[in-house]
Structure 1
Amino acid sequence: MEYCSTRDRAYHKSAAEVILQGISSEGGLFIPRQIPALGDLLEQLRGADYRTVARAVMGLYLTDFTAAEVADCVAAAYDDLSFPEGAAPMSALGEEMSMLELWHGPTCAFKDMALQMLPVLMSASNKKVGDGKEIVILVATSGDTGKAALEGFKDVPGTQIAVFYPEEGVSHMQKRQMMTQEGQNVQVFGVKGNFDDCQTGVKAIFTDPAATQAFLDAGKRFSSANSINWGRLLPQVVYYVYAYLQQVEQGRVQMGQPVNFVVPTGNFGNILAAYLAGEMGLPVGKLICASNQNCVLTEFLQTGRYDRNRPFYTTISPSMDILISSNLERLIYLLSGGDDALVRRLYGQLAKDGTFTVDGALLERLRAQFAAGCATDDETADTIRAVFERYGYLCDTHTAVAVKVYRDYCRDTGDTTPTVVVSTASPYKFAGSVLAALGERCPDDDFAVLDALQAVSGVPVPAPLAALQGKKDRFTTVCAPADMLAAVRAALGV
């Protein structure tokens, strides 16, 4: 299995090399030169647990790893201590839909599913192809990735990690998780801007030759834990295969029948992983992309026009407050048959003008595979309350966006295909918004909000969030986007 860049097909790199590097030197994203087929493997995995499915699916892509190395990575990432309730339990909401709960890990968000795996993949890759230099992980986060990456890389030998989050663009609980992070190799910075400013700043550091050389001279090399890193995206493919097998086990579909997936997404990695699973041969029906008021993806998937020149909204679903969706680049590359020249042209235009348009056959391929919709904050809150009243099920502000968009899709299309909604975070990570959606008054104290939500819903507060009470803030530095590199230099003494 070889990998190339979305902006340069001439690359020939192994999985270990692309996991270690993170992003291509010209700014492109690494992608397999061919998508492997599941073939008979899907039938063979009937009844398998999550770890078995992960070993099988990831092994198709990690061909420069031995089977034992892949198994060791899976065992380390998905142990019972990190996922005491199982890696990806599924809850059925009547005959209507199933909720794939990906937030039962150490930080209560779906990012744990990949960011417990990435550090062990990166350590194994470093042993294979590394040059002995310390790895400096740079992360831009809209809320959940940061904490999950910090927890995954905490005190991992041979690594340092620096996380940048929008100072006013995350929930109180997300901020507390990051500001109180433990570990001797971690750094956290607030940024005076939004997530796109953080993400643009990180990419600028990666593609700055002078900065890269300065860190190399200091015995350090950059890599990423965002979903621009293939080692972050690959583990996400697994849970779609597992979810489908669970649908078969529960009798909701027969093997070979399609399943729709509804994915709340901002950076497009989660839904791209579902697309990749479909390209491998998983019987995927429609992929329904759910956005909040920052609906740049909805417009693109419906019209072919991507335009980031629009108002930026700070919403109650902050992990989707994104206008530059990195992984869309990988989708365009795949749908265009690997046309790296097209990708270079489109993303050059995006950098220059903030917009680009696709049409013709490429737009038709998009529409054939994807549907899209969006939800306002009021609609999201109404959905939280309606789902709780009807099913007794408490969903967070991102999952509620997906449910609302799914209901709109069913109303507009009449599609009755069995459907899995991807539930991306514990409702307690956004407890104030969820409590308000249920019509309750929110106390001023963050932890009183958790207690109040537990009293109203009967759903226990997750232990990792309850454990934050009383922890002291360690990281309070806030910088301008232009000063992100200087902040990393100062923190690491480069």
Structure 2
Amino acid sequence: MKYISTRGGGVVSGLEAVWRGISSEGGLYIPQDLPPSLPYQELMGRSLEELMAEFFYRFLPDLSLDDWKALLGHALQSLKENQEAFELPLVRVNNYLDRYYLLLADALPTGSLSDLSGAILRTLLEWTGEKDPRAGRPLVLSLVGEDHAASSLSWTMDLPHLVIMSQNGARSREIAGLPAARDQLLGFSESFDERYREFTRLASDSSFEAQLMDRGFKPVFVGPGHIIEVLTAGALATAIVVSIRESLEDMDKIDFVVHKNHLSFLAGLVYASSLQLPLGLVYLGENEPASLTPLFRSGRTANPRRRRRRDDEGAAWPVNLERLLFEVTGR
């Protein structure tokens, strides 16, 4: 399985896409070709790490299936304070709404699914670091939302880590008080999309990477849409499908409701759908446009934000369109 950048450039391996995060052209990495379908009917009764390993192995066969099972088992167990097995945090709403389920992150260390993708990325970097042909020690540079920032800064990391996030969010005071925030957190007050554009320009600046490598570091750029975050969402969707089909055999397709800002999860659903999993509709939630078609086709939402200047770059081509993407309408 090879990967290409959404902004052109050379073809890389799956592990190279993980190690770099954002390509030297400033784009996200997406698979060059679709992997074989996943026969989910054969996965009934498997453990969570086994289910997720089947999904990860389809998109990152650089590691064997057994290696993925071991890696995911270690990553999931790192999120537990005791020796109990990590279970899929999926619960039925109640006995009356027995066909409705919630994916809850409350039991995770910071109450966010970012805990899960972060644990997998940390473990993968630790286990595969020696295979990276670039010299030096990994330096993780993250431009992320609040949940991801809280998750990253709550862990004692052996790898050098720098988190960049907005100061205007609801959790900014909580995050600023975390022990690691003093040395590892940078804040900004401008729009996230503008800072993301600058972040991608930094990732594509060869002189910046050269200076880091001269100091003994190799950068890992982590932003919305990093391949591990997207694949974690797709692997969770796979586990959800199998779990629900075990309970409701007559369920034809599984519909999802996702907040419009959880774009990596939307991208993960696209990846899961590409494996012929029985995914149905994806709703964006109350008071949001019912269809993503305008966003996919034109880069504009169905209900564009009012009072936006015509010369605002985000009005014509929002960064978040690229965060989704597996060429959603085409491949």
TM-score relative to the length of structure 1:
0.58
Distance in 1 (alpha carbons) for counterparts of 2:167 and 2:291: 24
Distance in 1 (alpha carbons) for counterparts of 2:176 and 2:239: 34
Q: Which of 278, 294, 302 pairs up with 2:273?
A: 278
Paired residue type of 2:17: V
- Map Cα deviations across residues 83-136 of structure 1 (whole Å, 9 max, x no partner): 867342223341462112244311111212211111111223322124341222
> Which has more radius of gyration?
1
Query: How much does 1:198 deviate?
Result: 3.4
Distance in 2 (alpha carbons) for counterparts of 1:291 and 1:203: 32
Is the Cα contact below 8 Å between 2:175 and 2:181 reproduced in 1?
no
Paired residue type of 1:278: S
Is 1:155 the equivalent of 2:157?
Answer: yes
Q: Which of 315, 321, 325 pairs up with 1:330?
A: 325
Distance in 2 (alpha carbons) for counterparts of 1:142 and 1:125: 26
Is the Cα contact below 8 Å between 1:136 and 1:160 reproduced in 2?
yes
Q: Which residue of 1 aligns with 2:53?
A: 55
Q: Which residue of 2 aligns with 1:235?
A: 232
Q: Which residue of 2 aligns with 1:34?
A: 33
Query: How much does 1:240 deviate?
Result: 0.5
Q: Which of 292, 300, 312 pairs up with 1:306?
A: 300
- Listed as ranges, the matches of 1:16-95 within 5 Å are 16-40=15-39, 42-79=40-77, 81-82=79-80, 86-93=87-94, 94-95=97-98
Taking structure 1 as reference, are residues 246 and 143 closer, same or farther at Cα in structure 2, changes over 3 Å only? same
Taking structure 1 as reference, are residues 105 and 285 closer, same or farther at Cα in structure 2, changes over 3 Å only? same
Q: SS state of the match for residue 165, structure 1?
A: strand
Query: How much does 1:303 deviate?
Result: 7.0
Paired residue type of 2:250: Q
- Map Cα deviations across residues 350-404 of structure 1 (whole Å, 9 max, x no partner): xxxxxxxxxxxxxxxxxxxxxxxxxxxxxxxxxxxxxxxxxxxxxxxxxxxxxxx
Paired residue type of 1:27: G
Q: Which residue of 2 aligns with 1:459?
A: none
Is 1:194 the equivalent of 2:194?
Answer: no
Q: Which of 250, 253, 257 pairs up with 1:254?
A: 250
Query: How much does 1:280 deviate?
Result: 0.3
Distance in 2 (alpha carbons) for counterparts of 1:118 and 1:224: 12
Taking structure 1 as reference, are residues 32 and 116 closer, same or farther at Cα in structure 2, changes over 3 Å only? same
TM-score relative to the length of structure 2:
0.83
Is the Cα contact below 8 Å between 2:137 and 2:218 reproduced in 1?
yes
Query: How much does 1:260 deviate?
Result: 0.9
Distance in 2 (alpha carbons) for counterparts of 1:88 and 1:279: 24
Query: How much does 1:299 deviate?
Result: 7.7
Query: How much does 1:311 deviate?
Result: 5.5
| Cα RMSD (Å) | 3.1
Paired residue type of 1:203: T
Distance in 2 (alpha carbons) for counterparts of 1:126 and 1:289: 38
Query: How much does 1:219 deviate?
Result: 1.5
Distance in 2 (alpha carbons) for counterparts of 1:99 and 1:312: 36
Taking structure 1 as reference, are residues 139 and 56 closer, same or farther at Cα in structure 2, changes over 3 Å only? same
Identity of aligned residues (%): 18
Structure with more of its chain in helix, by fraction: 1
Paired residue type of 1:5: S
Distance in 1 (alpha carbons) for counterparts of 2:176 and 2:165: 11
Query: How much does 1:202 deviate?
Result: 2.2
- Map Cα deviations across residues 320-370 of structure 1 (whole Å, 9 max, x no partner): xxx631544623x35334xxxxxxxxxxxxxxxxxxxxxxxxxxxxxxxxx
Q: Which residue of 1 aligns with 2:176?
A: 179
**How many residues end up aligned between the 2 structures?**
316
Structure 2 residue runs of 5 or longer lacking an equivalent are: 309-317
Distance in 1 (alpha carbons) for counterparts of 2:203 and 2:230: 18
Taking structure 1 as reference, are residues 163 and 117 closer, same or farther at Cα in structure 2, changes over 3 Å only? same
Taking structure 1 as reference, are residues 78 and 177 closer, same or farther at Cα in structure 2, changes over 3 Å only? farther
Paired residue type of 1:74: L
Query: How much does 1:31 deviate?
Result: 0.9
